[in-house]
Structure 1
Amino acid sequence: MALEVDITKKLDGFFMHMQFRAEREIFAILGASGCGKSMTLKCIAGIEKPDEGRIVLDGKVLFDSEKKINLPPQKRKVGYMFQDYALFPHMNVVQNIEAGMGKRPDRSRTESLIRQFQLEGLEKKIPGQLSGGQKQRVAMARMLAAEPELILLDEPFSALDTYLKWQLEQEMYKHLKEAGKPVIFVSHNRDEVYRLCDTVSCMNRGKMEVMEPLKEFFQNPKTRTAAILSGCKNISAAERVDAHTLRAVDWGVTLHVKEREIADDIRAVGIRAHFLATVERPGEENVFPVNESEIWEDPFEWNISFRKNAECSWLQWKIAKTDWSPEMGIPKELYLKEEDILLLTNS
């Protein structure tokens, strides 16, 4: 079973073109707010109509602009879970779940879903009487009650606090794997994506810049947008000096990568804040002078902002409190292993 999408749509301020194929997996669309993520889901679900293109689910054409095919949402067999869950406020838990079953709800299936999602004792409650986590479980149960062939999740954890989010992520992951359906998971939260997804795409102003397996996306982002979305704190414009040397313009330093070749179209360089380290030996390459610095304290680590001089941009160094304390003094230099330098070829 697979979903194939190749659509275009004019949005406010930019032109959206989404082209991808998702198999029986959890496929993430990671992007900043307003980049077209939710619009993509709405087009797949049939809530919005693309200007042109084609959407096919398991061989069934849902939309084809040339053939003038545009199936209504109820005929697409697509389950859509909105950010706010969109439960019917006047219906209780049972009624909300059975709303996904059509005109002849199966009570035994309802009871099975209530047990599966641990909603026992809440059957007669309406959404206004439920917690955020309970609402999410009801929404998930209602979606699966319709036996969809494709599941669309639009930032399903955005309304939850951190502790509850962690619990419900684990629950949702289990249910999604058991369902065995293609899942399109929209988010701007890289941690959610890393814990839940198999494949990651990076969306920027309506375009899919990158589509890669999860680990490759986070270990080696290819573009400036991908690096930012994957959590990279330090990014500088870059100028290629030669095949193994580049100039980080914003930081005023020269970096060397002996084991890789720098492409002619490099535009930026990235450094993860946790990968910086104190210099181990004199003459180390890829060294960053620390001439100005500020210290910020988090619960479990220190954040040190530093720069070479007033003409350079600040960098961020994160280090665990178990490994360093201000009493040890700010290092005069920090360095980075060459394999930890992110070469970004598209801005």
Structure 2
Amino acid sequence: MGLFVDIHKDLGAFQLDVSFETDSGQLTGLLGASGCGKSMTLRCIAGIEKPDRGRIVLDGRVLFDSGQRINLPPQKRRVGYLFQNYALFPHMTVAQNIAVGVRDKKARQETVARLARTLYLEGQEGKYPRQLSGGQQQRVALARILASEPEVLLLDEPFSALDSYLKWQVELELADLLASFSGPVLFVTHNRDEVQRLCRQVCVLDQGKSQAVMPVKELFEAPRTLSACLLSGCKNISRAKPTPDGKVEALDWRVTLNPMGPLPEGLSHIGVRAHYIRPVDGPGPNRLPCRVERVVENVFSTVVMLSTPGGDQGFSRLRMELEKGRWPELAGRDPLWLELPAGDLLLLTKDG
């Protein structure tokens, strides 16, 4: 079972252009900043919103095709959509909320009991949503979705309504449940840590435009675009341009670097993660003199903010993260020479 999405929707000042494909049993993250079109993409797949053109196909079954004028209503799409606020009916009990999703009326009681047991809701069937914790509300919403026997699950920021101390437990429970779901799952979030823990592959959305689906490992180890690199959490990024001899001039840091491997066509930026930067004794390849601007002691690490030959503002600065206890031996060096290892440099383009 697979899900194919290739749609366009004109929202005035905002254009949604999304194209990706995911297979059965695959948990795919849709990662992007707020307002990039993640939730709108899910609403189009679910049939709540209608794209202006394109195609949506689920396991060979066409849900939407502008060319053939096919647009199945939400109730015929077999799509399970978990909203951010769970959208439970406040005047219904847990059992009644779950029962709403059951298609076979004869099996309603049996299905409600089975899902209540599966999602650890036994003993809660007679309670109303206001009497439940955030985690319990999410499980009720998921039980209602599973009761309808969906062929694909759409999860829209499923942890955003939870207090921070609840998120970890609920995330573990949800991961266990999703492992047994046979269809594709789309997981919308702006949180890269959730993507890393839960998803096998990820599609980055940037200002309404989707980029190529990639393994989650690639997003964190070798992002190819500026937006993907920023979303992966990289703090050190400079505008860049290639030099005639195959090197890269980092314009904001004012240093020429010799990266490993060929330069991508359309190179526009270069990045390096804070924990890969190495303090060194003096000049050499891929090294630059810096001045310490600020030292922040975290529980397990030390973060050092540094000015570069390019300045001490914005992208001109570098952020280095060291193991706890390493800073005292380096303090007082002026300048502090740093090496940006060739194999750890991220070569980035603006577009997917």
Give me the TM-score of the superposition, normalised by structure 2. 0.93
Pick aligned residue for 1:144 from 143, 146, 168:
146
Q: Equivalents in 1 of 2:252, 2:258: separation in Å?
A: 16
Pick aligned residue for 1:337 from 326, 331, 341:
341
Partner of 1:55: 56
Cα offset, 1:302, TM superposition: 1.9
Q: Equivalents in 2 of 1:308, 1:115: separation in Å?
A: 59
Cα offset, 1:99, TM superposition: 1.2
Q: In structure 2, give the amino acid aligned to 1:290.
A: C
Partner of 1:314: 317
Partner of 2:266: 265
Which digits, 9 at most, give the CA deviation of each residue in 1:316-342, with x for residues without a partner? 112232x42457515512212111100
Aligned length: 344
Q: Equivalents in 2 of 1:300, 1:160: separation in Å?
A: 26
Which digits, 9 at most, give the CA deviation of each residue in 1:279-308, with x for residues without a partner? 2x6554212322242112333222211112
Task: State whether residues 292 and 308 of structure 1, in contact with CA within 8 Å, keep that contact through their aligned partners in structure 2.
Answer: no
Q: Equivalents in 2 of 1:147, 1:239: separation in Å?
A: 52
SS in 2 for 1:202: strand
Give me the TM-score of the superposition, normalised by structure 1. 0.94
Which digits, 9 at most, give the CA deviation of each residue in 1:78-124, with x for residues without a partner? 00001111111111111111111147152122112112111122111
Partner of 2:305: 305
Task: State whether residues 246 and 254 of structure 1, in contact with CA within 8 Å, keep that contact through their aligned partners in structure 2.
Answer: yes
Q: Equivalents in 1 of 2:18, 2:247: separation in Å?
A: 35
Q: In structure 1, give the amino acid aligned to 2:118.
A: Q
Q: Equivalents in 1 of 2:310, 2:234: separation in Å?
A: 23
Q: Equivalents in 2 of 1:3, 1:162: separation in Å?
A: 32
Aligned pairs for 1:71-82 (under 5 A) are 71-82=72-83
Aligned pairs for 1:1-347 (under 5 A) are 1-24=1-24, 25-102=26-103, 104=105, 106-242=108-244, 244-257=246-259, 259-279=260-280, 282-309=282-309, 311-312=311-312, 313-321=316-324, 323-326=325-328, 328-329=330-331, 332-346=336-350
Q: In structure 2, give the amino acid aligned to 1:337.
A: P
RMSD across aligned C-alpha pairs, in angstroms?
1.8
SS in 2 for 1:119: coil
Which digits, 9 at most, give the CA deviation of each residue in 1:239-267, with x for residues without a partner? 1113531111111111112x312235210
Cα offset, 1:232, TM superposition: 0.7
Q: Equivalents in 1 of 2:328, 2:133: separation in Å?
A: 42
Q: Equivalents in 1 of 2:332, 2:211: separation in Å?
A: 38
Gaps of 5+ in 2: none
